[in-house]
Amino acid sequence: MTSDEPSYLQRQTHNRESKRSIGRSAAASIKDGSTILIDVGTTTLELARAISGCRQVTILTNSLPVATVLCESLQKNKFSGSVMLLGGMLNPEQQSLSGPFCEQMIAELQVDQAFLSCGGISAEQGVTDYDVNEAACSQMFARSAAKVTVLADHTKLGQRTFVRVIGLEQVNEIISDSPCPKEWMSAMKGYKISWVTAE
């Protein structure tokens, strides 16, 4: 089990090309007029950077870097719609907002799709993360969304980190830069999870 998470700035340069390809694949699935939640993470940041051409989308996030990127994209007319930054307690190292106020806001939401990052994902433990507060927000993101998409580069597959976020039964789609491991095939089929391999 991995318990220590590198800082956000350190993680931005780690496996960046893989994260970019995952971000592009995730962005391609966003439909015009949809409402989406974007989680905290460096892979979800690449998703935010890749959003382009969408019309009248509503995007909610508890990530400061994601909100900043989306604001710049709106100013450049890369997409149309609105962006809402969820409030809460600031974690300077991870550049995230979480805690009771953030959770209270999420509890009022019903959205089309949630994009979740993770510290690890496995067939046995499901989706896990490092931070208790961020994991609590991610759990609520999943409950609020009609479709839950997990973004996980190859280094996260088979890994288990400190806090369990959700089980695979709550996941609808996984986007990775790696094909689905053969030993996971039966679990994916049983839970009816769509596996997308980013190019």
Using one digit for the tens of pLDDT, what is the confidence trace for 29-38? 999 999 999 9
CA-CA distance, 80 to 52, in Å (whole number)? 9
Note the pLDDT of residue 4.
Answer: 57
- In this prediction, residue 14 carries a pLDDT of 60
pLDDT at 194 over 70: yes
Three-state secondary-structure class, residue 128? strand
Is 80 exceeded by the pLDDT of residue 53? yes
pLDDT of residue 1: 58
Q: Which of 59, 35, 32 is nearest to 47 (CA)?
A: 59
Mean pLDDT over 89-105 rounds to 94
Q: Model confidence over 98-157: pLDDT tens digits?
A: 999 999 999 999 999 999 999 999 999 999 999 999 999 999 999 999 999 999 999 999
CB within 8 Å of 125: residues ≥ 6 apart:
160, 164
Which residues make Cβ contacts (< 8 Å) with residue 26, sequence separation at least 6?
47, 50, 115, 149, 151, 175
Give 168's contacts (C-beta < 8 A, 6+ positions apart): 123, 126, 127, 187, 191, 193
By CB atoms closer than 10 A (0-12, 13-18, 19+), residue 191 is middle
Domains with residue ranges and CATH for the chain:
20-197 (3.40.50.1360)
Rounded Cα–Cα distance for residues 47 and 182 (Å): 27
